Amino acid sequence: MPSQSFSNPLRRKLKSGGSTIGLWATLESATVTEVAAELGLDWVCVDMEHGSLGYRDVVDHLRAAKGSDLAMIVRVPTASVDTIKRALDLGAHGVLLPLIRTADELAEAFVHARYPPSGKRGLGHERALRWGMAMESYVAASNEETMVIPVIETADASSNIADILAVPGLEAIFFGPSDLSQSFGHLAVWEGPGIAEDILRMQQLAAARGIASGVIGTSADDIARRREQGFGMIGLGSDVGLMIRQLRAAIEPFRAAPGKSAGY
């Protein structure tokens, strides 16, 4: 019978005070997560908010990480009981919650992610509990080990950040610079005027409470800068985004090279 208790490697690494690196998975192929595990990344976020990924895709990604030290986070499409419960029942180490605007919204999400008496999460016999064979050990550890991470991506969240950070059990927040910019009226940009400064303001407030902050890096230089700024979760990019970045780097010199004449 399975006896190993449920644990979250990302919590351990964040508590050590260093930066962790991760990858955004948007493609159906679980090979993305398998490669991330082989490369020694710290976490993968499987994105259900945008794109076509469903729960079967999530299961495949989670299975690809089994036996590794890779933490698996699922960005659920909404911060609701059904999405949170199903992602956690499938074995995710935590959930990333889009569009959290207030402390009350975040507190409600924690209720869905916690078993009684601190929450209202229903008890199933799904993959997280090893199909019922590790029920006691999983339930004993889950409330502490499962991470609930709000995405700070609206002007309301920025205004309410102090209250959001005060929600009990919060260990990390993640910034969405582009959506945050749009909520302030700066469309189709990564960081509009004043957004970079606002993110650092909120990141420092979080750090003062021992709460880690996360963000996606836009380039190698930006990733290094985010590490220097003290971000605990740094996304290297998405699977598709990294492929495009690498392909562009390879294509541009080829297109700029003068054509060779035919013949020998």
What does the pLDDT average to over 4-32? 95
Q: If you average pLDDT over every residue of the chain, what do you get?
A: 95
Q: Which CATH number fits domain 9-255: 3.20.20.60, 3.40.50.300, 3.30.300.30, 3.40.190.10?
A: 3.20.20.60
CA distance 118 to 194: 38
3-state helix, strand, coil in the chain (%, to 5): 45, 15, 40
* Residue found under tokens 């998975």: 25
The string of pLDDT tens digits covering residues 43-67 is 999 999 999 999 999 999 999 999 9
Helix/strand number for the chain, H first, E second: 12, 8
Active site residue 50: yes
pLDDT at 264 over 80: no
pLDDT tens digit sequence for 71-92: 999 999 999 999 999 999 999 9
Catalytic pick from 50, 61, 112, 186? 50
**Domain-by-domain residue ranges, the chain?**
9-255
